[in-house]
Amino acid sequence: MKITVAETAGFCMGVRRAVEMALDAAIAHPGPIYTYGPLIHNPQVLALLREKGIRILDEIPEQGNGTVLIRAHGVPPDIRERLETAGFNVIDATCPRVIKVQTVIARHAPSGGASIIIGDKDHPEVVGLLGYAGNAGFVVDNLQDLDALPVFDNAIIVVQTTQNTWLLQEVKTWADKNAPHYKIFDTICGSTERRQEEVSRLSESVDALVVVGGKNSGNTRRLAEIGRKSGTLTFHIETETEIDFEKLESADTVGVTAGASTPNWIINRVCRNLETIPYRKARGRSACSSDFSGCCS
């Protein structure tokens, strides 16, 4: 079996930066150390942060102490103000690519125009972006919802940084036809775009595709969607314990990619366990050794 790992698999710049900032904060600042909401969308990394004493703050108390990191996805501006008012030392770990989108909306909002955000309504990045749009923010994730909005005299369109590139192209086509005066900002992260392009190419050259990452990670789910859309046998797993060895036995070539919040150590574990498939097949039973921890239940 040939295993090909995507060059873009794993941590993006924004996630790596946020995780490093959190670990540094645990050393440099007296406790307690919190993140406001989950720092990133990966359960295994969040477990590591808990081991380092970094806890998740879900609600802002009237009085607080310690340090709070703003998650990589960003937050509405009023959240930061409330954290500082409560007495927390606030460290902003928002991804710089997300800050760019926040800035675009913040500069447009005073004009009174609408800010249309193409993204997942409940995603924390989108919730944060809405906070910069005032009362003129709108979220859509498909062309039907876009059609349902009134045509504004003054509007911009921005995109969640981890959205599908094909959706942005559909939105541009829609705007050319229905609202050519709208200003569109291509705010999909370059890393996201490269990751999606690579998985599209990879899925066409392998018998099966394994996408590694949190089940609640939007960018990881979209990679799996691209694989399935290509017709390639595609699996979305969080760890090596979820590998479906039986379904992968017939594959001569397997591609592996991972979401932007998936650490390298999990990707490596998945690859090591995939490498056992020929031995399992040859023996007709589970082949497990100390080198492949987690491959057998």
User: Domain holding 140: CATH number?
Assistant: 3.40.1010.20
Pair 101, 183 in one domain: yes
Pair 111, 126 in one domain: yes
Structure tokens at 117: 């955000």
The pLDDT of residue 286: 45
The pLDDT of residue 294: 37
Pair 81, 110 in one domain: no
Domain that holds residue 133: 97-188
Pair 126, 210 in one domain: no
User: What rounded mean pLDDT belongs to the chain?
Assistant: 93
Q: Are 217 and 227 in contact (CB under 8 A)?
A: no
User: At which of 64, 94, 124 does a domain end?
Assistant: 94
The pLDDT of residue 158: 98
Pair 111, 198 in one domain: no
In this structure, what is the dihedral angle of CA atoms 217, 169, 229, 122, given to the nearest 10 degrees?
A: 30
Pair 140, 56 in one domain: no
Pair 195, 281 in one domain: yes
pTM: 0.87
Q: Are 41 and 218 in contact (CB under 8 A)?
A: yes
Provide the domain count of the chain: 3
Of 32, 3, 2, 18, whose CA–CA distance to 260 is shortest?
Answer: 18
The pLDDT of residue 284: 65
Pair 197, 278 in one domain: yes
The pLDDT of residue 297: 27
User: At which of 67, 94, 121 does a domain end?
Assistant: 94
How confident is the chain (297 residues) per 10-residue block, as mean pLDDT?
95 96 95 95 94 96 96 96 97 97 97 96 96 96 96 97 94 97 97 95 97 94 95 97 94 96 96 90 53 35
Give the integer Cα–Cα distance in Å for 141 and 143: 7
User: Could you give the count of Cα atoms lying within 13 Å of 206 in the half-sphere of its Cβ?
Assistant: 28
User: At which of 165, 188, 211 does a domain end?
Assistant: 188
Pair 107, 196 in one domain: no
User: Could you give the count of Cα atoms lying within 13 Å of 24 in the half-sphere of its Cβ?
Assistant: 10
Q: Are 96 and 18 in contact (CB under 8 A)?
A: no
191-219 pLDDT, tens digit each:
999 999 999 999 999 999 999 999 999 89
**Residues forming the active site:** 125
